[in-house]
Amino acid sequence: MNATVSNRVEKLFGVGSVKIDPAFVGTLGGSSARITVQQQLSRQITVTFATNVNTSAQQLIQVQYDLNHDNSIVVGRDESGVFSIVYKLRKRYR
């Protein structure tokens, strides 16, 4: 059902990805449904917005900028209002 609703919402609003999580447990401990919308603005920039359907106070906003295949910078604000900047380095060992 999630895929069907997601496809229809994507076509309706023109967003990249929509996910509905009916049993999400947030950082504040409450359990409810959550809707996540993700849009790729360019090859390097992806924006993610997630909100709790019961309250607008619990919203996650995240922007990821891919420097190259192995490095990216993620700037975000989580559900409790905390801002963060994270540098991600992907390394593969064989």
pLDDT (tens digit per residue) in 35-90: 888 888 999 999 999 888 777 677 889 999 999 989 999 999 987 889 999 999 99
Does residue 18 have a pLDDT over 60? yes
Q: Which two tokens stand for residue 45?
A: 């920039």
Measured between alpha carbons, how far is residue 42 from residues 4, 45, 46, 47, 58 in Å?
25, 5, 7, 10, 27
Q: What is the model's pLDDT at position 72?
A: 96
Q: What is the model's pLDDT at position 15?
A: 62
Give the separation between CA 53 and CA 58, rounded to whole angstroms.
9
pLDDT tens, 20-39?
777 655 555 566 777 888 88
Q: Where are the chain's structural domains? A: 2-89
